[in-house]
Structure formats: C-alpha cells, structure tokens
Homo-oligomer: A and B are copies of this chain.
Amino acid sequence: MPADGPAGGENLLFLTDEQLRKGIEAMFFAYRGFTADPDRILEAKGYGRAHHRAVHFIHRSPGTTVNNLLSILGVTKQSLNRVLRTLIEDGLVRSKVGIRDKRERHLSLTESGLALEQQLSDAQRARMRDAYRRAGPDAVVGFRQVLEAMMDPEPRRRYTALRDGGQ
C-alpha cells in the first residue's frame, strides 16, 4: 500500500485537491473567454448577456412560451420580462397570442432578431470551433462528458433530451 500512494492501489491522481483546483480555475477563465466575443457585440448594441440568452433559446425553440423560457433560464419572470420587453420594442422578437390557449405568448425571432442571433452565435461558434480543433475529437468527447456530469439534474435532463434529439 505505501508504494501505491495514499489512494491505495487505484490511479486516482486526477482527483487530488490540486488537480481539482486547476479544473476550477480552468472553468473560470474558460467561461470568461467563452462569453467575451458575444459580450463585445452586445455591448455595442446596448444589450447584455441576458439578452443573448433569451435570443439563443428563442432561436433554438421558436414558438416557445414565456413560462418555458423562464424554466430554462432559471430567472424570475420580472427579470426576463425586462429583457423581453426591450427585444420586442426593438423588433427583434415577436410575441404571438396562443391559439389553443390565449393566455400564452409564443415567442419567435424576427428577421433582425435572426440576424443578431447569427452574429452572436457565429462569434461564439468560432471560438468553440477553434478550441475543439486545437484539442481534437477525443478531447471534445471528454469535455462534453465532464460538463454534463457537472450540471444539476434538471438542466441535465433538459440538455440530454435536446442533445441527441436536436435534429
């Protein structure tokens, strides 16, 4: 046992506090890089990260309801409403009264909304593509596995549902 180190036989060096600390800091710095490009674009247009998230998820699920968006984003309706109102006023998002249930509002992107989404996701995908390319396919698989394991159960359920089914 002494020869195998404190872990006692298995190779668990990747679970040391030091390794975990590095993972934590990597997550911090990487997330900042991940949001940096969209942040610059958004700032120039007077929007923030909250607008980006709304636009992204409306784009992914056109016709989604406010309530639906709320549970994906995990914010209060007052907070989302503030963002949504400016997006609708600026003509980037369309809100249509539901047919079956008229209490619901179905959200979708307008032409200019789609244009902004394109611009934002182009920038973010470029960053992601570059990282993927430099790290290689095997690393990408591992990357996704760890991220998925790090999510809370409910977002994970939501994520994996879209992961494979998403076209």
Give A residues with C-beta under 8 Å from B.
11, 14-15, 17-34, 36, 53, 56, 60, 74, 121, 124-125, 127-152, 155-156, 158-159, 162-163, 166-167
Q: Is the interface of A mostly helix, strand, loop or mixed?
A: helix
Which B residues lie within 8 Å of A156 (CB)? 29
Besides A29-B155, A33-B152, 9 new A-B residue pairs in contact (Cβ under 8 A), listed by A number: A15-B132, A20-B125, A20-B132, A22-B166, A24-B128, A29-B147, A131-B146, A135-B145, A142-B142
30 contacts between A and B (CB under 8 A): A11-B137, A14-B140, A14-B141, A15-B132, A15-B133, A17-B125, A19-B140, A20-B132, A21-B166, A23-B143, A23-B144, A26-B148, A29-B151, A29-B156, A30-B151, A31-B31, A32-B74, A33-B151, A36-B152, A131-B149, A132-B149, A134-B145, A134-B149, A135-B148, A139-B143, A139-B145, A142-B145, A143-B145, A143-B146, A143-B147
